[in-house]
Chain A
């Protein structure tokens, strides 16, 4: 009732977020140290070895450095996007739920339906086909599109709580609407939103990678996983590792996130 069952698992979810943030910083740092941009034409298409664990690409750049740096960037983009989406969903979903069945609720609900009925990826591709992509716009746009799912949850919870005794008591005490919204609803709304966002992480990472796969993400000198895989596919017959190994690294990272997020599931039995 009222989302109480989520509370014990919030700690797990916080750990997951912290873990991803640390992973992002570590990957960016390690990638930076190994220098993902250094071109070395004497080592073009160097197969995986002790010196280059993931090999090198057609410009002799170290693929380990590029993969790490790209993973770090993906996580950074996703974390920022989650912040934007979380804030938006709290505000818009909260307002819609509080004024349920008024025009503002209809408007927000319509926006949510518009954003969720058409696949997320299509929106992102449509926008970035026109807007030039740099890292800031990527997380802003992803955040501006990803709020719809959590906002729906917020709206449901707030609309249910609107007539709860303690909320009515708050009104009777003469608290301002804003105080009632922040104090009374936040405790109940935050955990489910949190889980909504946590569950969006693999999808958002996939969208970011898919975006750069289609050539719409971070632009060339900046390493991005999707682009590396796409370019690697064209050099498949020359050097299989250029596409396969970054993809494998990415799969491993996704697996780790998946296990963490499934352990932090509020309905998980343990």
Chain B
């Protein structure tokens, strides 16, 4: 297990290094001469050269990348080209909100798919619930977000107007977008879990436990959910990237002050340090998630281990 941990960690580390390299090349190297951009087209060649030397832009690329890494370790991701604010401040305040929104919707999707399946198990004539779940697959997040805005806007006009460009003040400001984001992953997880449970309910061990006289709820958890849980959890972890995209888009629709709205404005103003920071932070998060997922699955499932 220790060996495995070591290997997985080394692997994830190599992915992180590659991520910083890609970001460095894309956002620091490719956009051209930063010194010339800052000083403008009419600056003298001497001043540009001086600034370039001052910023170390004439050093070898490897050095520049090393400084870039050092900056990252010290939490210094540069300043926004637009309002000169340090990027890491923005990233943390916005990122926490996005993390909350994404986290809440991840929990909703997991708990929701479990709950729907439990209800369908307890009340077989309520199986139509699954069509309700399917609706989530069919609607892209921004469409369902707009539908909710329309409906809520006609019910509570004041709330919908307040949503246009303000900060969060109530719990439902997070919960409503989170439910919208969760619709799609919840639908997928529900159908997946339903299939797995169906398979499990036909097995001999399920029959045996039924013969032993276990109760309905206990059988659901013991003989169905436990063997079905692993692919379900793995699929849940896979859905995180879907949740990310839906979160970013839904934020824009709801004017939710998270990373999505930050990214939109940064893209429109070509604010490269901010875009870079958003990509780096999310990329790091997902590499770590991938690492955790591998360790978790190896820990839960002996078959993966060898």
Contacts and interface: CB of A to CB of B under 8 A. Distances in A.
Interface of A: 110, 113-114, 117-122, 125-127, 129-130, 203, 206-207, 209-210, 213-216, 229-230, 233, 236, 240, 243-244, 247-248, 250-251, 254-255, 258
Given A119-B241, A250-B140, A251-B138, A213 B249 contact: yes
A101 to B, nearest CB: 14
B137 interface: yes
A150 to B, nearest CB: 16
Across the A-B interface, the 6 shortest Cβ-Cβ residue pairs: A119-B241, A117-B290, A255-B138, A247-B143, A121-B245, A126-B279
Interface of B: 11, 14-15, 18-19, 22-23, 26-27, 30-31, 137-140, 142-143, 146-147, 149-150, 164, 240-242, 244-245, 248-249, 252-253, 263-264, 267-268, 270, 272, 275, 279, 282-283, 286-287, 290
Contacts of B149: 236
Contacts of A244: 146-147, 150
A171 B248 CA distance: 52
Contacts of A113: 11, 15, 290
Contacts of B283: 118, 122
Contacts of A203: 242
Contacts of B287: 117-118
The dominant DSSP class at the A interface is helix
8 contacts: A118-B282, A122-B282, A126-B22, A126-B26, A229-B146, A230-B264, A244-B147, A251-B138
A120 B279 CA distance: 11
Given A119-B245, A215-B267, A254 B11 contact: no
Contacts of A119: 240-241, 244-245, 282, 286
A214 B267 CA distance: 7
Given A117-B286, A121-B244, A230 B252 contact: yes
A129 B275 contact: yes
A130 B137 contact: no
Contacts of B282: 118-119, 122
B143 A251 contact: yes
Contacts of B244: 119, 121-122
Nearest to A209: B140
Given A117-B286, A130-B26, A236-B164, 14 more contacts: A114-B19, A117-B287, A118-B283, A121-B244, A126-B275, A126-B279, A130-B30, A207-B245, A209-B140, A210-B245, A214-B267, A229-B142, A230-B252, A254-B139
Most buried by A among B240, B249, B252, B264: B249
A247 B138 CA distance: 12
A216 B267 CA distance: 8
A157 B166 CA distance: 52
A117 B15 contact: yes
Contacts of A233: 146, 252-253
A216 B297 CA distance: 36
Given A215-B267, A254-B140, A126 B23 contact: yes
A114 B139 contact: no
A243 B138 contact: no
A126 B137 CA distance: 27
A255 B140 CA distance: 10
B156 to A, nearest CB: 16
Contacts of B270: 129
A267 to B, nearest CB: 9
A151 B22 CA distance: 22
A209 B139 CA distance: 13
A117 B245 CA distance: 14
